[in-house]
């Protein structure tokens, strides 16, 4: 399987461990990653709030780059997935299409709408299949209760993104179960992590993150896992601040999606970049019989 790898900004910067873990897992599973240093940022929903046509054009360019190579795009971020898919939908509107095509023509790019966007979660559960993946597991995550945290833009708006369900998805839980861990069901799994307003009103963003972490904890989660590096920033990188805002420790390890997959497929914590997390994953690793060496 060969896919156009769209790492997104965060996985190339502060969330580099996500890129590292993705490459490890894809290598292990024989997913070939074609790289395009010409890909731009998806706009992250922010550019869309100032200029939706520009945002659609930026993503039409990204889609066209993969299309020219005859490949579908592999994303590892819920927001990138949402923005790229939304561009494909919006470009079905003839008025938007004309405007964007006109601009793309001036940079010698042609968009035809043939490239599909698929998140690593979907590749693992749909293209490879949970059962096939389960057969590759060498270190079952037995005894680890994992709360999946989806990230809004993987799921909503459901009609446009054609996601499995806006409010009751189960792909991620299926994956967690296939890895030998126990999926934890809780309301917060489809809620917002607070990230979009982290720089608007940090206290509110922290309260929102706290609510989801506490919800997962109340339902027995030893760790959470997310397919979105922006959620990871909110839930892991800012967890010390979140703890301050609620006035008590949370100690909730937050895994990137490919990190829990990598652990089950036998990767070392270092190969998955776990020592880069703000919240130690040691307690979770101890449950499955491996402990990270401190950074």
Partner 1 sequence: MTATETVRADLDIYRFDPERDRAPRYQRYTLDLAPHTPVLTALLKIRNEVDPSLSLRYSCRSAICGSCAMVINSKSRLACRTPIGPEIAAHGRIVVDPMRNQPILRDLVVDMAPFWGRYRKLEPHLIEDPSKPMPVGATTSMTPEEVARFKETPRCIACGACYSACPAVEHDPEFPGPMALAKLYRFVVDPRDGATKQRLVQIQPNGLWLCLRCHLCTEACPKDVRPSERIIDLKELAIAEQGGTEHGSRHVLGFKRNIEDRGVLNELKLVRDTYSPFEMLAQIPYGLKLARKKPETLKSPKAIEGQSEVKKLYEILDREEGE
Contact status, residue 152 vs residue 167, Cβ threshold 8 Å: no
Q: 174 vs 72, 126, 131, 160, 237, CA distance in Å? A: 23, 11, 9, 23, 27
Q: How far is the CB of 197 from partner 1 (least distance, A)?
A: 6
Token couple for 288: 């499955």
Nearer residue to partner 1 within complex by CB, 38 or 138: 38
Nearer residue to partner 1 within complex by CB, 5 or 39: 39
Name which of 64, 69, 70, 77 is nearest 7 in CA terms.
Answer: 77
Count CA within 13 A, CB hemisphere, residue 141: 25
C-alpha 113/C-alpha 160 separation (Å) is 15
Binding mask 10-39 for partner 1 (x = CB under 8 A): x-xxxxx--------------------xxx
Q: How far is the CB of 138 from partner 1 (least distance, A)?
A: 28
Nearer residue to partner 1 within complex by CB, 33 or 104: 104
Binding mask 140-159 for partner 1 (x = CB under 8 A): ------------x---xxx-
Nearer residue to partner 1 within complex by CB, 166 or 283: 166
DSSP string, 236-247: IITHHHHHHHHT
Selected from 30, 95, 106, 131, the binder of partner 1 by CB under 8 A is 106
69 CB-near residues (< 8 Å, 6+ apart) = 4, 34, 36
C-alpha 273/C-alpha 294 separation (Å) is 11
By CB under 8 A, tell whether 231 contacts partner 1: no
Contact status, residue 254 vs residue 212, Cβ threshold 8 Å: no
Binding segment (CB under 8 A) for partner 1, from list 5-13, 114-122, 258-266, 283-291: 5-13
Selected from 29, 177, 250, 278, the binder of partner 1 by CB under 8 A is 278
Q: Residues for the chain: how many in total? A: 295
Selected from 1, 167, 218, 293, the binder of partner 1 by CB under 8 A is 167
Strand 117-119 relative to strand 73-75, pairing: parallel
By CB under 8 A, tell whether 239 contacts partner 1: no
Contact status, residue 215 vs residue 187, Cβ threshold 8 Å: yes
Selected from 25, 66, 181, 211, the binder of partner 1 by CB under 8 A is 211
By CB under 8 A, tell whether 194 contacts partner 1: yes
Residues 48-77 interacting with partner 1 (rule: CB under 8 A) = 48-54, 57-58, 61
Binding segment (CB under 8 A) for partner 1, from list 42-50, 115-123, 126-134, 138-146: 42-50
228-263 CB burial, b ≥16 within 10 A, e <16: bbbbbbbbbbbbebbbeeeeeebebbbbbbbbbbbb
Q: How far is the CB of 198 from partner 1 (least distance, A)?
A: 9
**Residues interacting with partner 1, by CB under 8 A?**
9-10, 12-16, 37-41, 43-54, 57-58, 61, 99, 102-104, 106-107, 109, 152, 156-158, 166-168, 187, 191-192, 194, 196-197, 199-201, 204, 207-208, 211, 237, 240-241, 275-278, 295
């Amino acid at each position: 399987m060969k896919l156009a790898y769209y790492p997104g900004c965060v996985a190339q910067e502060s969330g580099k461990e996500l890129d590292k873990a993705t490459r490890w897992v894809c290598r292990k599973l024989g997913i070939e990653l074609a790289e395009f240093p010409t890909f731009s940022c998806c706009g992250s929903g922010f550019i869309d709030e100032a200029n939706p046509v520009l945002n659609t054009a930026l993503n039409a360019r990204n889609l066209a780059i993969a299309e020219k190579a005859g490949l579908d795009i592999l994303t590892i971020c819920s927001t990138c997935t949402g923005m790229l898919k939304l561009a494909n939908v919006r470009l079905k509107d003839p008025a938007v299409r004309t405007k964007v095509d006109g601009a793309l023509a001036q940079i010698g790019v042609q968009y035809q709408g043939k490239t599909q966007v698929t998140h690593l979660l979907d590749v693992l559960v749909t293209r490879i299949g949970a059962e096939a993946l389960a057969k590759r597991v060498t270190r079952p995550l037995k005894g680890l209760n994992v709360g999946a945290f989806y990230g809004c833009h993987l799921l909503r708006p459901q009609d446009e993104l054609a996601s499995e369900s806006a409010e009751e998805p189960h792909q991620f839980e299926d994956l967690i179960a296939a890895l030998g861990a126990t999926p934890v069901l809780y309301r917060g799994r489809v809620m917002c992590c607070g990230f979009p307003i982290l720089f608007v009103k940090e206290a509110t963003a922290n309260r929102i993150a706290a609510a989801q972490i506490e919800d997962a904890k109340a339902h027995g989660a030893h760790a959470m896992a997310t397919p979105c590096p922006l959620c990871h920033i909110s839930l892991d990188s800012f967890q010390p601040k979140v703890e301050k805002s609620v006035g008590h420790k949370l100690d909730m390890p937050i895994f990137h999606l490919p990190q829990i997959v990598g652990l089950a497929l036998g990767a070392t914590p270092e190969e998955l970049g776990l020592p880069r997390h703000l919240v130690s994953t040691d307690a979770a690793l101890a449950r499955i019989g491996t402990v990270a060496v401190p950074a």
